[in-house]
Amino acid sequence: MWGNCILKSGLLFVTLSLAVAKHKQSSFAKSCYPRGTLSQVDMLYVKAAWLKATIPEDHIKNIRLLKKKSKKLFMKNCRFQEQLLSFFMEDVFGQLQLQVCKEIHFVEEFHSLRQKWSRCISCASSAREMKSITRLKRTFYGIGSRGIYKAIRELDILLSWIKQFLESIK
């Protein structure tokens, strides 16, 4: 009788332990990529559209900040990913003073995505800038105050890269 009771309690303990371990593992996966982060990227798409609707139209058609070559770098180089996300947080959103940005909490959500990204994708940190980021910043600052609008207009490009990258690591 005691043996049967001990066996059942041991079995119950093992089952509970496995359930707790599986829950911890799945909650980590949800907080990282791709499932939890993909839905966050989708939400940022919607908020970026609202944000883009509040800024002047982009009349600079011959200049792009986010180029095809940059996409290739983004898809395979974690340092480039980190520097590009930092560029948007510091250089673009750091200068943005739009009320709508505060109302829709776009910057906070982008920052949250960036933090999640840095936790989930390990990369040797480096203070050294890559040539592509340096060129992007030179272009951004070279077109003056319109650089902020240009970068915001290209947010959908960046978000599509993020989504493609996350889907590729499923």
> Rounded distance, CA 40 to CA 142, Å?
32
Local confidence band at 101 (pLDDT 50, 70, 90 cut-offs): low
**Span between the terminal Cα atoms of the chain, in Å:** 49
Mean pLDDT of 162-170: 84
What is the rounded average pLDDT for all residues in the chain?
Answer: 75
Q: What percent of the chain has pLDDT over 90?
A: 26
Q: Which tokens is 89 given?
A: 């947080």
> Rounded distance, CA 47 to CA 41, Å?
10
Q: What is the pLDDT of residue 125?
A: 58
Look up the pTM and report it. Answer: 0.72
Inter-residue contact 114 to 40 (CB < 8 Å): no
> Rounded distance, CA 17 to CA 46, Å?
40
User: Which among 45, 43, 34 is positioned nearest to 120, based on CA atoms?
Assistant: 34
Query: If you count them, how many residues does the chain have?
Result: 170
pLDDT at 152 over 80: yes
> Rounded distance, CA 112 to CA 109, Å?
5
pLDDT at 24 over 70: no
Local confidence band at 100 (pLDDT 50, 70, 90 cut-offs): low
Local confidence band at 23 (pLDDT 50, 70, 90 cut-offs): very low
pLDDT at 32 over 60: no
Q: What is the pLDDT of residue 151?
A: 93
pLDDT at 158 over 90: yes
Q: What is the pLDDT of residue 26?
A: 35
Mean pLDDT of 16-35: 40
